Amino acid sequence: MRVRGFIALSLGALAALTAAAPAGAGDVLTGTLKKIKDSGAVTLGYRESSLPFSFLDGTGKPVGYAIDLCLDVVDDIAAEIGRPDLAIRYEPVTSENRIPAVTSGRIDIECGSTTANPERRRQVAFSPVTYLSATKLLVRRDSPVKSFRDLAGRTVAVTAGTTNEGALRTLFAQLKIPATIVTGRDHAESFAMVKDGRADALGLDDILLYGLIAGAGPEGAAYTVLPDKLSFEPYGLMFRKDDPEFAGLVSGTFTRIAESRELRWLYEKWFLKRLPNGERLNVPMSDELRTSFQVIGLQD
């Protein structure tokens, strides 16, 4: 997507989110804010292997870039509803059940690596863009597969419920590539299919592929990510739609952390500095993502 078009998209999304500001202290709360105040707790959905966005550290604690962004939202929720003692509950979700978890009320915010596309926006709402990714392929370095065009007669792993699965099925159908697609329950299981030879490649968002390689330690050196970009994936935090109070609060959180430069610091923490396992992703912020962050207040 061209930067000019992306700026227009970001501005449109920002205008929609800021159309309704959070309720004032004297207003009657509704929707998610009322649910959270009444229960005294906010429930965050997390992914177990979506490094660096949402994953479990060595102690089993959910951590990551998206988790930190969600915790900033939680701080503003606590201030808005007057509950400094607000409890935080964590609930694991998968690619397949994350949207039902939001719409059913099982979780209040999904803190992961979810693409904010038009189809999903008909079911849920999203924060401003948190990251921009693209579907790519991971293969073993010694693999004969050097491009998606080399997948004829081969097997590709994807994670069930991801946009990557749909992108690859469409691509293979359009180009008449006779490849077999197999699905894993989560990204770790999909990666395992390539490791043990059940699949020749793994189709996933590029940053998640880099995260899987980094998370594999020394063994990760045996894998590489092919350069072909097979789809465009803008990420966002996911929450229930038709809730203008909550949407306004989330939008306000992003403006706050952009203007204070915390948003840049969080990016550097998870994409440039050492991860909990000691590895680095070394993925600089793209020009498109920087433009998106500037739209909501980030200064150079």
pLDDT score for 27 = 65
Percentage of residues in the chain with pLDDT exceeding 90?
87
pLDDT score for 13 = 52
Q: How many CA atoms are closer than 13 Å to the CA of 182, on its beta-carbon side?
A: 17
Percentage of residues in the chain with pLDDT exceeding 70?
91
44 DSSP assignment? E
Q: Across residues 59-81, what is the average pLDDT? A: 97
CB 78 within 8 A of CB 64: no
What fold characterizes domain 134-231? D-Maltodextrin-Binding Protein; domain 2 (3.40.190)
Q: What CATH number was assigned to the domain covering residues 3-130+236-295?
A: 3.40.190.10
Gap between the Cα atoms of 143 and 151, Å rounded? 11
Q: pTM of the entire structure?
A: 0.85
Q: What is the mean pLDDT of the chain?
A: 92
Q: Across residues 134-151, what is the average pLDDT? A: 97
pLDDT tens figures, 162-202: 999 999 999 999 999 999 999 999 999 999 999 999 999 99
pLDDT score for 7 = 44
CB 81 within 8 A of CB 29: yes
Backbone angles phi, psi at 235, to 5 degrees: -90, 155
The ranges assigned to domains in the chain are: 3-130+236-295, 134-231
CA dihedral 126, 18, 105, 129 (to 10 degrees): 20
Q: Which uninterrupted H or E stretch holds 156?
A: strand 155-159
pLDDT score for 279 = 87
Which of the two residues, 218 and 300, has the higher pLDDT score?
Answer: 218
Backbone angles phi, psi at 260, to 5 degrees: -85, -5
Which pLDDT band holds residue 300 (cuts at 50, 70, 90)? confident
